[in-house]
Amino acid sequence: MKSHQRVVSVKRVLQVLIGVVLVYMLICAGFLGAMMQTPDIFGGIMRHVPWPAFVLLPFKPMWTFARRGHVNVGDPAPDFSLETTDHNSRVQLSALRGQMPVVLVFGSYT
């Protein structure tokens, strides 16, 4: 009788473990899908994510996969537009092409 109870207990533990793994994979897939959206959509989603998620989920590899590009060394930069710091207008990279050198700095000066 005890061996039957152990078998049932082990099966139940395996079912719970499989369920947890499936939920984890679905959550990861959801975040990966969100990462492939526009920055505005992704930012809107991420502002609601509690901090423990950043410890439990593989954000860096997913982000690297989602934002991989197809630009090789020597290729022109893809066109984009950004809002100016005073929020009154936008600047587009293609409008500056051929007029002056453009340097993009990603980071902080503090």
Residue 87 lies in a domain: no
Q: How large is the average pLDDT for residues 89-98?
A: 89
Q: Residues near 57 by Cβ (< 8 Å), separated by ≥ 6? A: 27, 28, 31
* 31-52 tens-digit pLDDT: 999 999 888 888 899 999 999 9
Residue 27 lies in a domain: yes
* Residue 66 vs residues 12, 33, 47, 103, 110: alpha-carbon distances, Å: 36, 8, 18, 24, 29
Residue 106 lies in a domain: no
Tally the domains of the chain: 1
User: Domain residues for 64?
Assistant: 2-73
Q: How large is the average pLDDT for residues 18-40?
A: 93
Residue 97 lies in a domain: no
* 50-90 tens-digit pLDDT: 999 999 999 999 998 998 878 888 888 888 888 888 999 99
Residue 39: what pLDDT?
82
Residue 22 lies in a domain: yes
